[in-house]
Amino acid sequence: MAITIYHFPPSAPSRCAVLVAKALGLDVDIKVVNLFDKEQLKPDFVKINPQHVVPTLTDGDFTIWESRAIATYLANLYEKGDKLYPKDPKARALVDQRLQFCAGTLYPRIRAICFPVLFLGEIEVEESKKSSLEEAIGFLDIFLDENDFVTGNTLTIADISIAASLSSIIAVGWDVTAYANVAKWFAKCTLEIPGYMEINDAGAQQFGKAVKSKLAPGQI
């Protein structure tokens, strides 16, 4: 049976899963679940995923969600070679750490800014949230010191995850040029991640437009 990814293009984690599938050369059936229209709450989707989140992947009779779990699953099972997700324990641990940085630090700080704007009616961003995100981007800048990518000089699934997350807030208007390593890395990712413009940029721009339409002027 074909692999299916339930996907919402404005969602950074969702774009990550699709980008990893693309990088692995997989033929994936994409089914869009529009979160803005609350399609994730429809009974047929809740039956597949009781947490009703995207991305969700089905591979035959196997179902999994959470983008980094999907990324590692796909790479473990389908990668020819091990550049995207190295098999060496130390190299893999570093990729896993960067994935956890995205899941536990960078993306939550982006979400803390954007979710209240999109769904809770807030039109201003607290300075503490801005400072928190700046700190996370600063950590990323350190990771990239003397490296082309976040774990060294080879593109991995960690780069894909972090680039998808960061692209969302950049599309809102966040300026990362003060972080020279991050700016250089992000430009490289747009060129080297397979399908970046088609899969990621379009969705990030859609996300950015939605947030900006609800923000008060000058907030970001």
Residue 23, domain CATH: 3.40.30.10
In a domain, 109, yes or no: yes
- For the stretch 6-15, pLDDT in tens is 999 999 999 9
Statement: residue 173 has pLDDT above 60? yes
Strands 62-65, 3-7: pairing is unpaired
As a whole number, mean pLDDT of residues 109-120 equals 97
Regarding whether 70 and 152 lie in a shared domain, the answer is no
Regarding whether 133 and 63 lie in a shared domain, the answer is no
In a domain, 179, yes or no: yes
- For the stretch 34-50, pLDDT in tens is 999 999 999 999 999 99
As a whole number, mean pLDDT of residues 198-206 equals 97
As a whole number, mean pLDDT of residues 73-90 equals 96
As a whole number, mean pLDDT of residues 144-149 equals 96
Regarding whether 56 and 133 lie in a shared domain, the answer is no
- For the stretch 174-194, pLDDT in tens is 999 999 999 999 999 999 999
Regarding whether 93 and 71 lie in a shared domain, the answer is no
Regarding whether 94 and 74 lie in a shared domain, the answer is no
Q: What is the pLDDT of residue 201?
A: 97
Statement: residue 70 has pLDDT above 70? yes
Q: What is the pLDDT of residue 154?
A: 97
Statement: residue 62 has pLDDT above 90? yes
- The catalytic site residues sit at 11
CATH number at residue 171: 1.20.1050.10
In a domain, 182, yes or no: yes
Domain of 108 in residue numbering reads as 89-212
Q: What is the pLDDT of residue 14?
A: 98
Regarding whether 44 and 103 lie in a shared domain, the answer is no
Q: What is the pLDDT of residue 1?
A: 56
Sequence-distant contacts of 204-208: CB under 8 A, at least 24 apart: 204/10, 204/12, 204/15, 204/164, 204/167, 204/168, 204/170, 204/171, 205/171, 206/9, 206/10, 207/10, 207/11, 207/12, 207/114, 207/168, 207/171, 207/172, 208/168, 208/170, 208/171, 208/172, 208/173
- For the stretch 17-38, pLDDT in tens is 999 999 999 999 999 999 999 9
Q: What is the pLDDT of residue 135?
A: 98
